[in-house]
């Protein structure tokens, strides 16, 4: 348990590949990230192994290749990392983060509409009953 979800930048990039594909060999991950990162294949492989130690991915052998699969959901990672940021930066108040986003002008004006609807929907659901599961 503890806090499995605090991934670095490269780890996140790797996870994105894995989440998108469901699974991928080390070389596939490397190929997928080559353009944006240009890292050595061993770097990816090493990272993948470290990530497996951490429990965020798992692998199975397919021939002489390792095929990696995410062991944590994207949602959980998001929750963990966002939660940590909120804790660190906004003293645990998520609304303060939204507040910051809004008042800092980091959100496109045209997104505001969509957000309002999102909130409205959320309100309706909250009244309807129970929380999340």
Partner DNA sequence: ACGCCACTACTACCGCGGTAGTCCCACCGA
Partner DNA sequence: TCGGTGGGACTACCGCGGTAGTAGTGGCGT
Task: Give contact residues for DNA (rule: CB under 7 A).
Answer: 6-11, 25-27, 37, 39-43, 45-47, 49-50, 54, 63-66
- Encoding tokens for residue 37? 């990162």
Separation between Cα atoms, residue 79 and residue 101, nearest integer Å: 17
Between 40 and 114, CB nearer to a copy of itself:
114
* C-alpha Rg value of the chain to the nearest Å: 19
**Residue 95 lies near a copy of itself (rule: CB under 8 A):** yes
> To the nearest whole angstrom, how small is the minimum distance from the Cβ of residue 35 to DNA?
14
Question: What's the sign of the alpha-carbon dihedral 54, 42, 17, 28?
Answer: negative
60 touches a copy of itself (CB under 8 A):
no
Residues 6+ apart with CB under 8 A from 5: 56, 72, 76, 77, 79, 80, 81
Instruction: Report the interface residues with a copy of itself, using CB under 8 A.
Output: 9, 12, 75, 77-79, 81-83, 85-86, 88-90, 94-95, 97-109, 111-116, 118-120, 122-123, 126, 131-132
């Amino acid at each position: 348990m503890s806090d499995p979800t605090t991934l670095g930048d490269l780890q996140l990039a790797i996870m994105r590949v894995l989440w998108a594909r469901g699974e991928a060999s080390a070389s596939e991950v490397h190929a997928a990230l080559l353009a944006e990162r240009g890292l050595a294949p061993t770097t990816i492989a090493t990272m993948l192994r470290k990530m497996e130690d951490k429990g965020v991915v798992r692998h199975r052998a397919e021939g002489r290749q390792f095929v990696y699969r995410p062991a944590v959901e994207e949602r959980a990672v998001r929750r963990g990392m966002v939660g940590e940021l909120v804790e660190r930066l906004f003293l645990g108040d998520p609304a303060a983060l939204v507040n910051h986003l809004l008042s800092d002008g980091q959100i496109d004006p045209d997104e505001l509409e969509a957000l309002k609807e999102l909130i409205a929907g959320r309100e309706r659901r909250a009244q309807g009953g129970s929380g999340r599961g």
